[in-house]
């Protein structure tokens, strides 16, 4: 993937540019992106789709389909990142999420064990 000054990808809310990789998800890489018009940053999960060319019928992995459906049903929840947009581009799918300040692995790597109350708050 090209970061920083690569092509702007269009989505229903405008267009965005990929900035830098945040990490790896179960289905693909997660990247920080910036909306070209507003400057708002968000997380983008890129999921490669099965197919040999853009003209082929592509197959969305079942787990990705279920993730999208579950996030749409949840809507807005304080402990779950919100799915903002889904964009098909070439042989990939871009899932755009609100950008969290940290991730669960960083919370769990803290120096002290989590209390039961803190664990329940996270869940």
* Domain 9-122, CATH among 3.40.50.970, 3.40.50.720, 3.30.200.20, 2.60.40.10: 3.30.200.20
The per-residue pLDDT for 115 is 80
118 annotated ligand binder: no
**Confidence (pLDDT) at 75:** 81
| DSSP states of 13-66 | TEEEEEEEEEEE-SSSEEEEEEETTT--EEEEEEEEPB-SSTTSPPB--HHHHH
Q: pLDDT tens digits, the chain, 123 residues: what are they?
A: 555 556 677 666 678 888 888 888 677 788 888 988 899 999 998 888 876 566 667 778 888 889 899 998 988 888 788 998 888 877 888 888 998 766 666 666 766 777 888 777 766
pTM for the full predicted model: 0.70
């Amino acid at each position: 993937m090209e970061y920083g000054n690569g092509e702007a990808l269009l989505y229903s809310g405008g267009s965005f540019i990929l900035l830098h990789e945040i990490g790896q998800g179960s289905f693909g890489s997660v990247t920080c992106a910036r909306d070209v018009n507003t400057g708002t940053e968000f997380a983008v999960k890129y999921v490669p789709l099965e197919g040999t060319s853009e003209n082929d019928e592509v197959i969305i992995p079942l787990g990705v389909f279920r993730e999208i459906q579950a996030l749409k049903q949840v809507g807005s929840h304080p402990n779950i990142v919100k799915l903002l947009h889904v964009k098909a581009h070439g042989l990939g799918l871009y899932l755009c999420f609100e950008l969290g300040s940290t991730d669960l692995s960083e919370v769990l790597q803290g120096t002290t064990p989590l209390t039961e109350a803190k664990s329940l708050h996270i869940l």
